[in-house]
Structure 1
Amino acid sequence: MHKILLTFLTCLFPIIGISQDRIPHSYIENPTVISVNKMAPRAAFFPFEDELKALNNTYETSANYQSLNGKWKFKLLENDTEVPVGFYLSTFDHTDWSLINVPANWEVEGFGTPIYTNDYYPFADTRERTKGYTEMSAPKPPFVPIKNNPVGLYFKEFDLNATHKYQDVILHIGAIKSAAFVYVNGKEVGYTQGSKVPSEFNISSYLKEGKNTVSFKVYRWSDASYLECQDFWRLSGIERDIFLITQHKVSIEDFGAITTLKNEYKDGSLALDITLNNSSNKTEKVSVNYQLFEGKVLDLIKKPVIEQLKELDIKGGASVHIKKQHIVKNAAIWSAEKPSLYTLLITVKKDNKIIQSTSERIGFRSAEIKDGLFLVNGKPIIVKGVNLHEHNAYTGHVVDEELMKKDIKLMKQLNINAIRTSHYPQPRKFYELCTEFGMYVVDEANIESHGMGYSLQKGKAISNNPSFEKAIVDRTRRMYERDKNYPCIVTWSLGNESGNGYNFYQSYNYLKSVTTIPVQYERAGLEWNTDIYCPMYAGHDWMEKYAKEYKDRPLIQCEYEHFMGNSGGGFEEYTALFDKYENLQGGYIWDWVDQGLHTTDKDGNAFLAYGADFGPKNVPSDGSFLANGIVDSDRNLKPSSLTVKKGYQNVKFKATDLSKGEFEMKNWYDFTSMDKFTVKAIVKAEGKIVHSFDAMHFTTAPHQTEKIRLPVKNLPKGKEYFIHFSVITNEADSFKPKGYTVASEQFTLPSEILYTSITPSTALILTETENVVLLSNKNVRFLFSKDAKTITSYRYKGIEYIHDNSGLTPSFWRALTCNDMGAYTWVKAKDWKVATQEFTIKEVKVSAKTESVYNVLVTYNLPAVNTTFAVQYTLFGDGVLQVNAKLNGMEKADKMPELLRVGMRMMLPKAFNNMIYFGRGPEENYSDRNWATDVDLYSKNTENVTIPFIRPQEMGNHTDIRWVAMKNKKGQGLLAVSNGTSLLNTNAMNYTDEALDAGKGGYNYPKNLRHDQRHPYQIKKVDFVQWHLDMIQEGVGGVNTWGARAMPKYMLDPSKEYEYAFTLIPFKKATTAQLFKMSKLKYSIDKKI
């Protein structure tokens, strides 16, 4: 077989341009050879030996199943010239080979280097920093490196189960990357590529009784790699389960159970197409019985909804089809909200004995484009989706059922209803779980050639390269054939970021010939070969423009809201657009999970690795650009996770008249009425519930609105009141307990806060020299140093509140977020960083208002930005310090440095690590990402604050702060109270901005700079508390991480004047109630000197 194919390929070389000196690579450098001897694609099902096992549908319980998972002998070689002759023979000496787990990626197992790149081909990365690593100067499909193309050799011995005798045996390889030769008992069986759908080989004729061997030769790079340029770890090996299937010579070769809805979406339609094959050389007489049961069936007691028996005579070597259309009246309908299912059981008998039985959970649902809208079961839904990569922080691309369930559970709890399988089909079990538990799926073909760009010129985009047409259509076909029976799939996707052209026209036409549900492709844009306009990272303005001007297709973003690092800004505005415009039907957030890999450094310190943490310094890498998850690598929620839950919640509230307690509640569920939930409302003041309303029960239909009126008048004056709505589940389900909050909202009620005026009478003594201003009495010490350019001592009753002379100083910078770095903010805003570090004192003026009240006006020059920052300290004799700060705007110009923050920070002694605050929390939040947090009373200890991102950056901020107190264990502390109309931003932690900052690096590294390849464990805590008391901080953004900034309303204008004030009140000991009381003190000046 090898020689025959080699001769054929040699003849083919002139056609596809492969030179004769590359013959050793003939299989892996010829895109028209995508397999040899591989079986045709088919649906995912298993041939059980009896009906009860078939209904249970657990492969491992069947005698027809033999797992080949486990320990294999393994050898990794630099390239195929090192492959020893006969390595696949049982007589070959494998004693010096290692053992490797299967399934596993060999790089994760310690063989070779894990490489992460976004859109570059690692074997042909042309960037300066990879010089000396890559063998190829540029990607040149279908060629791959000759020298630097690792080959993994696998070898395993196994005893053949007795049941395999006289039957057909199929070798099922769940996934193998990127190309592989298959050997059984020393003979070459075939060749495969296409790494994310199963490869199956009929190996019956290769087997023998007793001991057998199976072996693989796996190439890291092949022409298939040009179609697998996805934004994830570039890993290799056997990634999914590998097992043997035994089946009778007469068996179900394939079946389609395609469902939709008829008669105004009330009746279920089942198109059944069963193919039986007789691999023997004689005619066989069999019967086929298929039954459809409602619900999950584990026995045969229940009466079937449909049952049909068919007698067949099948000639040797022939196949027959059974095709039948069935209607189920008033069917139970499947949706992500109500995943109602039926069980299809197909049984083949010979001589009245079962020779094969299989089952499938199917659901009746429809998915279509109608009148320019995407409809599921006749209803225009909002896709509240997320992109999902196949990732496990310990095993790379090997994901088990337990982790899949965990993902779906978390998604359900965050109100996510849809998944895009970016950018390849997931394992079989994933679709079964989405079908069972209810999750809409966009199933995407394993095609991405981002590294080739999108140009249709010759030698550019693979989308228009004729030699790749067969591979592209085959990948699409194999995806469809395996997954065609899963009702969770409501859209097919042609692939990702591969340009558009002839090859994708063909794959689109193929899918439209076999399916009625929509087909999408992002790179098609508004061309004809996509049923859904599915752009990625479209901004808010463009989406609104589309909604108004384009009506033929819905807009559903295939990727949006890039959750890299401290991100998630602007999500509120996206979801508002989905609610406002019917043809803006949601999107898929990028993405679900950070792709960190657990490892250790040379000293044994454990950490989560990202790109360039492995291998030599010049290894191709895009750094931490793989960490874009709503959840972290271990599936822990991140600070921004609840923003998704809030934005995707299906019950929303609106205040129509707060003074009268009038509200509207809208049920945004598509198929669920409000009788599944209880609505609760409470009124809180100063962190305590002051009134609880009776639980409310509604039967509000989907997409309908309910008016709510609650008595909120006559609340006692003197406090700020908030009304809080929560929607909780009445019953538990697979993912949410009874009483789980699926939606919530908070409103500030009209109220009048009463303040108490204080006139301090304790005199202060002024001592002023050329360098210092000292104000003091027996209880108070305030020392401003002109040399230090700040307050170096602030003491009350013997308690010092300033660490190491580091009092309040101007702050206009933040530790750069990933979005900041992607937009080159380290260049655009660098002048403000300099201004934060290199300010000078212009003048210090001291004036007495009374004997007990002094003003110290400090004006700072900010040479880097050519403006000034003025701070007036007003010290009262009882130790209270009012701070009024003003940043004067820069002179307006076309180009001004980007301003990230307006505020001040100081360093507190380490003991003051207990933070109590009244503002938004408990999760950190920012101006464009705070709507999922409520104003309430919260506390935390700075010692417990950890870095929540895989790469250190700005973190820990809280907005809308009324007051914040820092206390020590004795209860002594310092209270900061917002003055005026501007509420505070605050942040307290045992890290400094400087330590968290990325310096001048970016995720795509400037030339020759390996920048800050840093991780949280490397950032050491300091022995003091950094405390920010800011007026405002720029939003974190979220549209993308390669240039977009926060929405304009969340940006700062450096030409504008910013002024704010706060009061610092020292205390010896104070309860929470006393802190609230202190926050309402207003200091006045009774008598001027």
Structure 2
Amino acid sequence: MLPEFSPHVSDLAPGRGALRPARSWLHSDAKSLSLNGSWRFRLSATASAAEDFAADGFDDNAWDSIPVPAHWVLEGDGAYGRPIYTNIQFPFPIDPPYVPDENPTGDYRRTFDVPADWSDAERVVLRFDGVESLFRVWVNGTEIGGASGSRLAHEFDVTSAVRPGENVVAVRVHQWSAASYVEDQDQWWLPGIFRDVTLTARPAGGMEDVWLRTGFDDGRGRVEAEVTASATAFPVTLRIPELGVEQVWATPDDVAPVDIAEVEPWSAESPRLYDATVSTAAETVTLRVGFRTVEIRGDQFLVNGRRVVFHGVNRHETHPERGRVFDEEHAREDLALMKRFNVNAIRTSHYPPHPRLLDLADELGFWVILECDLETHGFGKVDWIGNPSDDPAWREAYLDRIERTVERDKNHPSIVIWSLGNEAGTGSNLAAMSAWVHTRDAERPVHYEGDYTGEYTDIYSRMYASVLETEQIGTDGSRAPLLNCTPSQGARQRTRPFLLCEYAHAMGNGPGAFDQYEALVRQHPRLHGGFVWEWRDHGILTTTPDGTPYYAYGGDFGEVVHDGNFVMDGMVLSDDVPTPSLHEFKAVVAPVHFAFDGDKVAITNLRHTTDTSDLRFHWRVEHDGLAVASGELEVPFVAAGDSGRVSLPSVAVSPDAETWLTIDAVLATGTAWAPEGHVVATTQLDRSVRRPVPGGRGRFAWQPGDGTLTLGVAEFVGGSLVRLGERAVAGPRLELFRAPTDNDKGAWGEVDESDASVSGVSNAELWYRDGLDRLTSRRVSVEQSADALRTVDKVSAADSALSVLVESVWSRAADGEVELRVEIQPSHGWETVWPRIGVRFDLPDGTAPVDGAEWFGLGPLESYPDSVRAARTGRFSATIGDLSVDYARPQETGHRSELRRLDLTSGNAEVLRIEALPDTHGRRPGFTLSRHTPQEIARAGHPYELPESTTSRLFVDAAQHGLGSRACGPDVWPEFALRPEARTIRLRITAPE
């Protein structure tokens, strides 16, 4: 008789009843039956509904049907509740282990047939791979048991409950339970049976578990087998056909390591796998074996004796329509996309993924930090009072979670580090988890960021450390204090490998400074790279009442407690489109580095394992963005970690155009993740003839005037531009405001966390305070000559004495062109950074809207001062829609830097041609073309909230503020921060006839 099950689902025990010990997720030929499919379903508002539904003869005809696996809040078009998003906050009172009586509870039922040939099974096991958050199971009216641990596998022995022929399984799932307090993991709360349900007939003489541990040393391999089986199951045979291995162990005592004279190692770059089987007379288990050795030597993390650099991402399981339900095709493409963008590592934040994902990681090649299903972040809001991590009453639950994590996935060569969890404070239960892992798997190191002093983990890990702090961690002999460490503890942490388990928070437009972190990793061997937060946005595809689709974030489903769009913080948008930040990441961490020296180029192979034999090096020469020559460099194969120097091709330098040499390292043949010719790394060299920097102002005989005149293609009335050629145009007007990015709105930290004066105040708040979004102007003067017009405007905001003086000089140029020079001079007293320094032109649609651009400058994607490595100099074109990124919350987007020439188009017709001239310092402006003003964009919470527009807006910016990662990380580095300063913009404009 099972004990009374708490109606308040407050039990701390991780499982009860006929729950089996944790074991590997194995590919076995044992008979099995998938119970995925259509189940009968009923939702109750509380956890205490009658349990008669589990009875064998219960009539469920009045119930709904629901698919399994699925989350019930994503089914039924809202009939079963709605998703809830929180980052840190608990969506219920903090009163552990209790949860509210209002506790959505789903009851599931389905029938299944047990085949007649299962009668000889030694045991019948019912397996659940993922149920959120706590569930109970009945078979044919008999309660079998219950368990918690939403992203963990649970198996129940149902041998005595099943019968030949038709059977009934019933499951009750509670959305909230005591376990919810340790699953506060910065994602949607999505209840239900969301992973596979399987029934298996375990054969007499089969194997309960198999673990093939491997090692690699100087070309030799070793397999250490752990076979969990009764003595009567022996003999057991290990076969690795490709290596000629056929080892028979007659008894359990005979099981011993198998040494292999010659094997190819497994690595993330060369994921060499060998098919292996472990067999008894009754069962065969199939595995894929990769040979590699993991070790920490001093402050170095090594695989197969070589230092590993993690160019990683944090990956939640998320799908815009299915939530955390696994979609293998989608997951495979996700990982292939990572490979194409030079991602080599995955941290499974903050729980074990579907086990098939790890098969894909083994196959495609990733270094994996496998994280336990654990986070208690919400307790941080109450100073960690009541945190389960240091409460002995929760010890069993913590140990069960790490045991189920390690045991399920221990056979995967891709897993090189175990992680205890995330943001769960610290305490004795975490230390106990670490001790268990060290005992069970002595090879793989243990990671947990919250162990700041290194009391029970093997790797020093931090999240969102600034560039300066990261440098201090990596520098030998540094005595700079480390977070929460005494000097002696800090000294000890500097003797260990360091990684950034989270950095470069990729929320919205950003982050900046990838290249600064990467430079430190290359400079300081102790620094082993990091994992960008995070891989993709978690948007849920939904529609407005009028049917407009959009990707929902926190608050869009009416949640009382939520964290808004903080769940939209990935380098891939919810619709699978890579953001510019992912392109920037790819460029910065490229595994091949180029360094030019005269007529030579040094090519450095930064890979861990493989040489460059899989690459070809293509070059091309362009004059003002037009190709004039191309070819292939003859590059000898460069071993991992080595460099080679080759001669550059002879380049014909144009006296009248910019000359650029581009080199691309491309795949010589296709792979499982990219086609032949895929660009792995690229670089450019400017071979242009140096030209003199333009001089100062022109000289004109100014006279007062009414400002009504025509200069080339420009027509003015009352000193204001009204037309360029046949196109109505208004401007230029000063623009200092940009629609705040998520990082602009963030107030997380300063660059070095030393400036307390702005702590907790975002840049966006300061911009609104200073009125940058509501500037007004006063015309100071209008002067003109026969060939020029000069206006001076004073621009300021209401309730502010701060101002900016803007002098605009239009002058006639040759062949109908007109030249514009804008001098921008701020008054004294501006204290904050500015988002931009530029001007705006408004181009009403008329009969033919401006809907595209062709340009010569940096592209093809947007770029900002601290995110420009992915940009290259060339000629590009795009529609006005493609020039911006559809971030889930509209914000600043679309800036292209280093503009030389811009052709605005309507359809296929050129409307205006603008040449951007450098200022006296050689600096060129950038441009943005949009259908909206920054103010309109800033007011919209979703793309569908942007107003209909009848005007295209052209922004020409002398400078833009950097991006940073202050939504959850450090602010823009000073080098890329835009301080109020005088700037000049020079343009030459013509309109085709």
Q: Deviations over 1:510-550 (max 9, x none)?
A: 11112111111100023221211110011100011011136
8 A Cα contact 2:611 2:638, kept in partner:
yes
8 A Cα contact 2:775 2:795, kept in partner:
no
1:166 partner amino acid: D
Task: Tell me, yes or no, if structure 1 residue 397 matches structure 2 residue 287.
Answer: no
8 A Cα contact 1:783 1:794, kept in partner:
no
Map of 1:86 onto structure 2: 52
Task: Tell me, yes or no, if structure 1 residue 175 matches structure 2 residue 156.
Answer: no
Task: Tell me, yes or no, if structure 1 residue 691 matches structure 2 residue 691.
Answer: no
Task: Tell me, yes or no, if structure 1 residue 992 matches structure 2 residue 933.
Answer: yes
Deviation at 1:36, TM superposition (A): 2.8
8 A Cα contact 1:169 1:202, kept in partner:
yes
Map of 1:470 onto structure 2: 396
2:240 partner amino acid: L
Trace 1:825-904 onto structure 2 (pairs within 5 A).
Answer: 825-832=763-770, 834-841=771-778, 843-848=780-785, 851-861=786-796, 864=800, 866-876=802-812, 878=816, 880-891=818-829, 896-904=831-839
Between the aligned partners of 2:73 and 2:587, the Cα distance in structure 1 is 39
Task: Tell me, yes or no, if structure 1 residue 214 matches structure 2 residue 145.
Answer: no
1:793 to 698, 704, 722: 722
Map of 1:188 onto structure 2: 143
Map of 1:922 onto structure 2: 860
Which has more radius of gyration? 1
Between the aligned partners of 1:512 and 1:862, the Cα distance in structure 2 is 63
8 A Cα contact 1:273 1:321, kept in partner:
no
Map of 1:411 onto structure 2: 338
Are the structure 2 counterparts of residues 448 and 719 from structure 1 closer, same or farther at C-alpha, using a change threshold of 3 Å?
Answer: same
DSSP 3-state at the match of 2:677: coil
2:270 to 311, 321, 338: 338
8 A Cα contact 2:857 2:898, kept in partner:
yes
Trace 1:956-971 onto structure 2 (pairs within 5 A).
Answer: 956-968=894-906, 969-971=908-910
1:1029 to 956, 962, 970: 956
8 A Cα contact 1:34 1:193, kept in partner:
yes
Are the structure 2 counterparts of residues 101 and 865 from structure 1 closer, same or farther at C-alpha, using a change threshold of 3 Å?
Answer: farther
Are the structure 2 counterparts of residues 187 and 792 from structure 1 closer, same or farther at C-alpha, using a change threshold of 3 Å?
Answer: same
8 A Cα contact 1:454 1:461, kept in partner:
no
DSSP 3-state at the match of 2:547: coil
Between the aligned partners of 1:594 and 1:753, the Cα distance in structure 2 is 45
Between the aligned partners of 1:505 and 1:749, the Cα distance in structure 2 is 58
Task: Tell me, yes or no, if structure 1 residue 815 matches structure 2 residue 739.
Answer: yes
8 A Cα contact 1:865 1:890, kept in partner:
no
1:783 to 711, 714, 717: 717
TM-score of the two chains, using structure 2 as the length reference: 0.92
Map of 2:436 onto structure 1: 510
Are the structure 2 counterparts of residues 828 and 764 from structure 1 closer, same or farther at C-alpha, using a change threshold of 3 Å?
Answer: closer
Between the aligned partners of 1:332 and 1:30, the Cα distance in structure 2 is 49
Which piece of structure 1 moves more, 467-476 or 635-644?
Answer: 635-644
Map of 2:553 onto structure 1: 610
Deviation at 1:888, TM superposition (A): 2.2
Q: Deviations over 1:744-767 (max 9, x none)?
A: 01122241349999x999x99999
Deviation at 1:801, TM superposition (A): 3.6
Between the aligned partners of 1:840 and 1:807, the Cα distance in structure 2 is 12
8 A Cα contact 1:285 1:311, kept in partner:
no
**Unpaired stretches in structure 2, ≥5 consecutive residues:** 479-490, 748-761
Which piece of structure 1 moves more, 521-530 or 225-234?
Answer: 521-530
Map of 1:292 onto structure 2: 240
8 A Cα contact 2:465 2:969, kept in partner:
no
Between the aligned partners of 2:24 and 2:593, the Cα distance in structure 1 is 41
Which piece of structure 1 moves more, 1041-1050 or 326-335?
Answer: 1041-1050
Map of 1:133 onto structure 2: none
Task: Tell me, yes or no, if structure 1 residue 119 matches structure 2 residue 88.
Answer: yes
Trace 1:516-531 onto structure 2 (pairs within 5 A).
Answer: 516-531=443-458
Deviation at 1:386, TM superposition (A): 0.6
Task: Tell me, yes or no, if structure 1 residue 728 matches structure 2 residue 666.
Answer: yes
DSSP 3-state at the match of 1:562: coil
Between the aligned partners of 2:765 and 2:339, the Cα distance in structure 1 is 41
8 A Cα contact 1:723 1:749, kept in partner:
yes
Between the aligned partners of 1:476 and 1:322, the Cα distance in structure 2 is 30
Q: Deviations over 1:961-988 (max 9, x none)?
A: 1222323354332414223222111001
Deviation at 1:195, TM superposition (A): 1.2
Trace 1:288-687 onto structure 2 (pairs within 5 A).
Answer: 288-294=236-242, 305-311=244-250, 323-349=255-281, 355-453=282-380, 459-515=385-441, 516-548=443-475, 549=478, 551-615=494-558, 619-656=560-597, 660-687=598-625
Task: Tell me, yes or no, if structure 1 residue 744 matches structure 2 residue 682.
Answer: yes
Are the structure 2 counterparts of residues 777 and 88 from structure 1 closer, same or farther at C-alpha, using a change threshold of 3 Å?
Answer: closer
Are the structure 2 counterparts of residues 814 and 908 from structure 1 closer, same or farther at C-alpha, using a change threshold of 3 Å?
Answer: same
Between the aligned partners of 1:177 and 1:914, the Cα distance in structure 2 is 48
Deviation at 1:357, TM superposition (A): 1.1
**Unpaired stretches in structure 1, ≥5 consecutive residues:** 10-22, 50-63, 125-138, 279-283, 295-303, 313-319, 350-354, 786-790, 999-1011, 1070-1089
Between the aligned partners of 2:471 and 2:732, the Cα distance in structure 1 is 44
* Percentage identity across paired residues of the two chains: 29
8 A Cα contact 2:579 2:885, kept in partner:
no
Deviation at 1:1020, TM superposition (A): 3.3
Q: Deviations over 1:442-487 (max 9, x none)?
A: 0000010000129887x43222111111111111111111111111
Deviation at 1:1043, TM superposition (A): 6.2
**Count of residues in correspondence between the two structures:** 949
DSSP 3-state at the match of 1:205: coil
Are the structure 2 counterparts of residues 498 and 442 from structure 1 closer, same or farther at C-alpha, using a change threshold of 3 Å?
Answer: same
DSSP 3-state at the match of 2:629: strand
Between the aligned partners of 1:479 and 1:756, the Cα distance in structure 2 is 65
2:978 partner amino acid: L
Are the structure 2 counterparts of residues 974 and 689 from structure 1 closer, same or farther at C-alpha, using a change threshold of 3 Å?
Answer: closer
Map of 1:131 onto structure 2: none
Which piece of structure 1 moves more, 513-522 or 936-945?
Answer: 936-945
1:260 to 192, 202, 215: 215
Between the aligned partners of 2:234 and 2:509, the Cα distance in structure 1 is 62
2:32 to 48, 65, 68: 65
1:873 partner amino acid: V
Between the aligned partners of 1:654 and 1:674, the Cα distance in structure 2 is 16
Are the structure 2 counterparts of residues 497 and 555 from structure 1 closer, same or farther at C-alpha, using a change threshold of 3 Å?
Answer: same
Q: Deviations over 1:679-698 (max 9, x none)?
A: 12222111112232443232
DSSP 3-state at the match of 1:681: strand
Deviation at 1:73, TM superposition (A): 0.4
DSSP 3-state at the match of 2:54: coil
Deviation at 1:65, TM superposition (A): 1.7
Task: Tell me, yes or no, if structure 1 residue 47 matches structure 2 residue 28.
Answer: yes
8 A Cα contact 1:454 1:499, kept in partner:
no
2:75 to 96, 102, 109: 109
Map of 1:979 onto structure 2: 918
Deviation at 1:854, TM superposition (A): 3.8
Between the aligned partners of 1:1020 and 1:691, the Cα distance in structure 2 is 47
DSSP 3-state at the match of 1:579: helix
1:610 partner amino acid: Y
Are the structure 2 counterparts of residues 801 and 703 from structure 1 closer, same or farther at C-alpha, using a change threshold of 3 Å?
Answer: farther
Deviation at 1:207, TM superposition (A): 0.8
Between the aligned partners of 1:275 and 1:480, the Cα distance in structure 2 is 16
Between the aligned partners of 1:764 and 1:92, the Cα distance in structure 2 is 98
